[in-house]
Amino acid sequence: MAALAPPVGELEDLQKKSNFKFEEYRTTGNQPNYNVPQYQAFPFPKPGAYPGLSRPLNPAAVLPPYPGPPPTARELRDRRKPVLKARKRVARKLEARHMRFARELGFGGNGVAALFYTSNISPPYNRKDYVVKCNHTEGRDSRHAFALERSTTGMFHDAMHMVQLEGIPTVKPRPRQSRRKRGLAPPDDDDDDEAGQWTPDRADISDVMFLEYCHRGSLHKALCKVVKDNEVFPNRALWMIKSCMAMAYPPLYNAAHYSGRQRPYRERFRADKVKNKFLHFDIEPKNILVCDPESEGQDLESDTGHPFIPRLKLSDLGLAHHLQEHHFRNPEFMLKLRDLAKDCFFAPEQFTEEWDFLPRRTGPWGVPPLPKVAGNFGWRTNLFQVGLVMACLIARAYPPVPPYAQRIRIPPFRQSDLDDDDDVPPKKKDTKKKDNNNKDNSAAAPAAPATPVAPAAPKKPDPPKQQPRPAQGDAAGPVTPPDNDAALNGPEVKPNWPRVWSYGGYLLNETWPAAARVDRPLRLLVAQCLCDDPYWRPRMKRLDWLVRHGMWRQGWRDEGYEDDYGDSSSDDDNAQVNNNAGDDDDTMRDW
């Protein structure tokens, strides 16, 4: 049963609060205060049409250092109360499966994760670790969200770069030996029935999720260590960190796509052009885990796709959504999606000022023409957050606060790299007559008309749904402060490269030692992933090819490349679709 729409006044209030929140995010990077006169005077909606992105008035954006300010004692105390309660509740339930608590791993807005393990009481101990996750909040919505996260995680069963669900340990007989010696709680008369078995509520784990344990922690932990030791990530490691691409085709719903492959499946991109609306919304260093090669039986020297670095896995699908068309037409749901991210990791589809010009009680899909950025959620939203993670690794800091856009030049697209939602003019059909040798001469020629007929007017081809876009900012006039973005362009830039707005322009500054030490092709690729307009972000198939090509150029060869993907540079159709794009076939190879 569909949820009831909120009252008109409530929906308008949600819209205004959301617009004001991201106005503060874009200009100051601070949390909003709705009790100030500025909120009451905030225009809603803003008059006129969205003028497009322009230079921010406060270019003094800062890069927050890792690991960031620690939480205050009061914040920790307020958070710990529900977390400890949830952990004790789960530990009591898992006692029926002889699982022991090891340590707490972390907690978020609704969930808590802890490390539990099972082992024999005598050698060989055969310890098995589990990440146990549960809610620390009560209510129907929390239970529904948790069940949805568990089912979503199961969609990526056997995906190489996604955290996997573990099998549920079986219920064990109630222990009869000394419980204190074995680290178990004292017996409780209410814990078992007359037959000495666990009661159903003690064995119920419907609100618990068992996940695999990645022994090396997360990229956040690696970042903190690198900053503490004043080290850097090697170029080789940065090129190979290309996780999070498993979001494209879940094996559970694309079984035929992985047919004949060995498990775990190395994620592949289909040769056909298929768009996907599966969004993670929470891709950040804390949610990208580093596996232990030995525990997974991974050989760093021979494991295809992961030479010299451990395997990375994406976790925490609590905010993930598989969007359908009706979701985009629901203004309330779109406002909900706008808030699904952590500070510093919002995408332009969420924080762009284009939202402020939408009419009251209307979502991005409720007004023609469709906005280019606002609410234009898709796999490119995931790609933007992946770009933010890579920017963190390069800069060894959080993304700029507030977000700061600069204009950069990027390689033009090839028509063969576009997706099915990149509607481009169809190819012209070959109207030339075939060779007479191929004709069927037995067919009689059509009779001439009795009276001359005027030739019909040529039919104009249907315009594409989305015209190829010109470069951004070239015709917008001067900007304030003066445009110094030319310093971001390197020798690889060609005259036909379009000029676009990107939130990763700071990575191309050659006078900044932290960025200059990293291969420029990699920095340019990350900056392109951080384009304001999703249209200008690289396509997944081409992105994967560019990453592998960059590794090949350095001599870090991935032997499994041609077998898995094929060389997309060999496509016959290399037409470029930008208005100002030339015919240089070496554009993508030269950088």
**CA 355, CA 18: separation in Å to the nearest integer?**
9
**CA 103, CA 131: separation in Å to the nearest integer?**
10
At CB < 8 A and 24+ separation, what contacts does 25-30 make? 25/343, 25/346, 25/351, 25/402, 25/403, 26/56, 26/351, 26/353, 26/402, 26/403, 27/56, 27/57, 27/58, 27/402, 28/58, 28/402, 29/61, 29/343, 29/401, 29/402
Distances in Å between the alpha carbon of 275 and those of 17, 223, 278, 412, 546?
32, 33, 9, 20, 20
133 is in an annotated binding site: yes
CA atoms within 13 A on the CB side of 305: 20
Q: Which two tokens stand for residue 248?
A: 């494209």
The dihedral formed by the CA atoms of 325, 327, 328 and 334, expressed in degrees to the nearest 10: -160
CB atoms within 10 A of CB 517: 12
Which secondary-structure segment (H or E) carries 131? strand 128-135
| Amino acid, res. 402 | P
Name which of 136, 115, 129 is nearest 169 in CA terms: 129
DSSP assignments along 19-34, one per residue: HHHHHHHHHT-PPP-T
Bridge partner residues of 210 (DSSP)? 132
CB atoms within 10 A of CB 432: 6
Exposure of 210 by Cβ count < 10 A (0-12 exposed, 13-18 middle, 19+ buried)? buried
Distances in Å between the alpha carbon of 36 and those of 21, 33, 40, 46, 119?
13, 6, 7, 19, 57
**CA 173, CA 179: separation in Å to the nearest integer?**
13
Which secondary-structure segment (H or E) carries 389? helix 379-395
**CA 246, CA 18: separation in Å to the nearest integer?**
31
Name the E strands within 367-484. Answer: 406-409
**CA 512, CA 336: separation in Å to the nearest integer?**
38
**CA 387, CA 408: separation in Å to the nearest integer?**
15
**CA 492, CA 477: separation in Å to the nearest integer?**
25
DSSP assignments along 307-364, one per residue: TTS--EEE---TT-EE--HHHHT-HHHHHHHHT-S-TT---HHHH-GGGGGSPTT--G
- Rounded to the nearest 5 degrees, what angle is found at the Cα of 490, between the Cα atoms of 489 and 493? 80
Q: Would you list which residues are annotated within the binding site for ATP?
A: 133
